[in-house]
A and B are shown apart, each in its own frame.
Chain A
Amino acid sequence: MTAFQIAGITVCGCMALVSLRRAFAKSGARLQPLGWTGIWAAATAAFINPDATTVMARRLGIERGADMVLYSAVVAGAVAFWLVSLRLRTQSRQITLLTREIAVITAKSPDIVAEQDAPSRVESTT
């Protein structure tokens, strides 16, 4: 086993344990941390036995394990980008709504001038 594998197993293994702990915390959602536990556990397994990725890849019709990992990373990156964009859009909308609320609350109106004291009216030409 190489030093790189040992480092990878250590980091991914710890992250899997942290996620698992979060999944069984007294409060909070469970599904997301369980999902992350699965991802970190799969990464740990790939570091322990890199050839396992090739076995999995061939089952999916992909020649090499490295290609499968790369494709998965690209898809995951695209999904993550989309989710972050959606979140940013939602936050932008919330900022607008908050800004509007404050603007309406702090609105100022000048005194209404009586019509007889107003500047000369414009006669309609239409």
Chain B
Amino acid sequence: MSLQANDDTWIVIAAYCEEAVIAEVIAGARLRFANVVVVDDGSTDRTLEVAYAAGASVLRHAVNRGQGAALQTGISYARKKGAKFLVTFDADGQHDPEDAERLLEPLRKGEADAVFGDRLTESSDSVPAGRRFLLRCAVLFSRWTSGVDLHDAHNGLRAFSAGMADELDITLDGMAHASEIADQVHRSGRTYTEVAVRIRYTAHSQEKGQRWTAAFGIAFDYLIGRVLR
């Protein structure tokens, strides 16, 4: 699809200290999407300057708030700019812009309002075994706590229609936002689906990834957030 065909779509990237790879990520996205916004979540390096030079619209959190907070900022900004569709995209180079286009297909056809990337169904071999186990636990946790039926609830590659984006209100600033997004989509009553995607694990992305022990904190954050909402 040409840049013009994807004129109605904004790629939303939350970034924290990604100056090493962000230019490449933006360049790849901008081959297919004209509108890319990077939310610099209080980085201590030159992520903001590099992202801007690479052609992205940039916003900066003056203090680090977490990926969930940065994504909501990006989503709010993109909607302000009139985005008809939005795609959340990781800043560490794990995602493929071609997959982002494939996520848009059900949205454009009106078959769904939210599309989640699924790295476990077809491409599970590319996911390290330990991470695969953790992700499957996360799926069971999501099913148990909110009834969300997804194979991969914690994939950063997601696409939303404008209507769905307007209903989202990410209040969990940290990594529990992924469960919160899935929960809110499920509770909205709108149609959602999954599309198989590929994940590229690099030394850089593995280093930036969550430790397995963080899973307990994320689950706790999510449960407390649900009680207080």
Contact = CB atoms under 8 A, between A and B. Distances in A.
| Same complex origin of A and B | yes
Task: Give chain A's interface residue range (CB within 8 Å of chain B).
Answer: 20 to 34
A99 B58 contact: no
Interface stretch (A16-24, A44-52, A70-78, A116-124): A116-124
A103 B173 contact: no
B34 A102 contact: no
Interface in A84-126: 86, 89, 92-93, 95-96, 99-100, 102-104, 106-110, 112-113, 115, 118-122, 124-126
The SS class assigned to the B binding surface is mixed
A8 to B, nearest CB: 38
Nearest to B40: A103
A2 to B, nearest CB: 46
Contact of B3 (A93, A108, A115, A125): A115
Given A126-B98, A126-B102, A108 B228 contact: no
A110 B69 contact: no
Contact of B65 (A99, A107, A119): A99
Contacts of B58: 107-108
A99 B69 contact: yes
B91 interface: no
A122 B228 CA distance: 46
Contacts of A96: 65, 69, 173
B214 interface: no
Contacts of A118: 3, 34
Nearest to A112: B34
A104 B57 contact: no
Contacts of B32: 121-122
27 contacts: A89-B228, A95-B63, A96-B65, A99-B65, A99-B73, A100-B61, A100-B73, A100-B76, A103-B59, A103-B60, A103-B61, A104-B59, A106-B59, A107-B77, A108-B52, A113-B55, A115-B2, A118-B3, A119-B31, A121-B3, A121-B31, A121-B32, A124-B1, A125-B98, A126-B98, A126-B101, A126-B102
Report, nearest first, the 9 A-B pairs whose CB atoms are least far apart.
A103-B59, A109-B57, A107-B59, A100-B73, A96-B69, A99-B61, A122-B31, A96-B65, A124-B1
Interface of A: 86, 89, 92-93, 95-96, 99-100, 102-104, 106-110, 112-113, 115, 118-122, 124-126
